[in-house]
């Protein structure tokens, strides 16, 4: 559901979440951990009693299972059930297990051996479990009980708090064209690019998907998949942060254009002219 090569799916669901700012920032941070942070995260997880940790994960998974996904809401609406555009826009395509698996399998090279169970019963390194826990807490926010949120989120905050430099700077995580990504973030922060203007951009059928597919292959071929994902998360966070209370329906209309511009910024130097031009169709919003 959520993969390294299709970051727009994850970033869009996160942007429309009630805890979007914290969720986007945390997801980005899990891909920017320093070696020192990884060591302390693993130790912090092991300070939590296994039974207490397992109970918190069961509560989190149960809460997530009771939360309707986008496909569920669409099926309900198609059969005449109640629904609204805002509720649908707030929903997410995947489950907490899907996002936890992305983080634990792809975020960084975890230094320790698997040994801690997380969402869905997956057994992962302790350091990965710390990242999974805090992501899971924000993903199920605000419904998760405070005690369970503390059990799963505390190792992350405790571990990072022990390290002088816990995270790699975003500018060092966006690949060789980080300056272009930073320019886009600054334009959003200054509101030179706005939600309304991005949402007004129209895409001819099939062109956005084709251009983004070409961008993903370019990122894969040049070793920039992680840089692309982090850039998409951070640019999305810049848009959400610049809007006081963004409408999730408008966000879903605007983010395809913003993500196309982000991918162009990340791989514009290695992408063929035609898909690059297609990714820049949204430049009218700049």
Q: What is the spatial distance between Cα 97 and Cα 57, in angstroms, rounded to a whole number?
A: 11
Segment 129-138 mean pLDDT:
98
Residues 6 or more apart whose CB falls under 8 angstroms from that of 142 comprise 18, 19
Segment 181-209 mean pLDDT:
93
Question: Do 237 and 207 fall within a single domain?
Answer: yes
Question: Do 138 and 201 fall within a single domain?
Answer: no
Choose one of 107, 137, 161: the last residue of a domain.
Answer: 161
Task: Look at residue 193 and tell me if it is in a domain.
Answer: yes
Task: Look at residue 135 and tell me if it is in a domain.
Answer: yes
pLDDT of 286: 66
- Spatial CA neighbour of 23 closest among 110, 75, 96: 96
Question: Do 79 and 148 fall within a single domain?
Answer: yes
For residue 10 the two structure tokens come to 């994850």
Expressed as residue numbers, the domain containing 98 is 33-161
- Spatial CA neighbour of 95 closest among 73, 66, 116: 66
Choose one of 102, 135, 161: the last residue of a domain.
Answer: 161
Segment 171-182 mean pLDDT:
96
Q: What is the pLDDT of residues 64-115, one digit of tens each?
A: 999 988 888 888 766 565 567 888 888 899 999 999 999 999 999 999 999 9
Greatest Cα pair distance in the chain: 55
Question: Do 122 and 210 fall within a single domain?
Answer: no
Predicted model pTM: 0.95
For residue 128 the two structure tokens come to 């990965």
Task: Look at residue 113 and tell me if it is in a domain.
Answer: yes
Question: Do 43 and 150 fall within a single domain?
Answer: yes
pLDDT of 199: 93
Task: Look at residue 111 and tell me if it is in a domain.
Answer: yes
10 Å CB burial of residue 9 (0-12, 13-18, 19+) is middle
Question: In sequence order, which ranges of the chain are alpha helices (DSSP H)?
Answer: 7-15, 20-30, 35-46, 50-65, 70-78, 85-90, 96-106, 126-139, 146-161, 178-189, 195-199, 207-221, 225-242, 248-267, 273-279
Q: What is the pLDDT of residues 14-56, one digit of tens each?
A: 999 999 999 999 999 999 999 999 999 999 999 999 999 999 9
- Spatial CA neighbour of 240 closest among 26, 3, 11: 11
Q: How many domains are there within the chain?
A: 2
Task: Look at residue 24 and tell me if it is in a domain.
Answer: no
pLDDT at residue 283 is higher than 90: no
281 vs 8, 189, 207, CA distance in Å? 17, 21, 10
């Amino acid at each position: 559901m959520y993969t390294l090569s299709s970051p727009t799916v994850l970033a869009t669901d996160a942007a429309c979440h009630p805890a979007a700012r914290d969720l986007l920032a945390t997801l980005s941070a899990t891909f920017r951990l320093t070696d020192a942070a990884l060591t302390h995260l693993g130790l912090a997880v092991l300070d939590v009693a296994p039974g207490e940790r397992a109970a918190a994960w069961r509560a989190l998974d149960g809460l997530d299972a009771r939360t309707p996904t986008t496909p569920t809401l669409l099926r309900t609406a198609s059969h005449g059930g109640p629904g609204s555009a805002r509720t649908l826009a707030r929903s997410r395509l995947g489950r907490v297990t899907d996002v936890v698996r992305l983080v634990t399998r792809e975020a960084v090279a975890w230094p320790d051996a698997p040994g801690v169970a997380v969402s869905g019963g997956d057994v992962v390194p302790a350091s990965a479990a710390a990242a999974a826990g805090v992501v899971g807490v924000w993903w199920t926010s605000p419904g998760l009980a405070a005690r369970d949120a503390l059990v799963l989120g505390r190792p992350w905050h405790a571990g990072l708090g022990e390290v002088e430099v816990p995270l790699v700077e975003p500018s060092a995580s966006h690949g060789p064209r980080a300056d272009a990504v930073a320019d886009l973030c600054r334009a959003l922060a200054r509101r030179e690019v706005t939600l309304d203007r991005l949402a007004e951009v129209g895409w001819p059928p099939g062109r956005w998907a084709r251009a983004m597919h070409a961008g993903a292959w370019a990122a894969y071929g040049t070793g920039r998949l992680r840089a692309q994902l982090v850039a998409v998360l951070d640019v999305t966070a810049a848009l959400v942060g610049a809007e006081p209370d963004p409408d999730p329906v408008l966000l879903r209309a605007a983010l395809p254009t913003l993500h196309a511009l982000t991918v162009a910024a990340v791989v514009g130097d290695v992408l063929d002219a035609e898909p690059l031009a297609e990714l820049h169709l949204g430049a009218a919003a700049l």
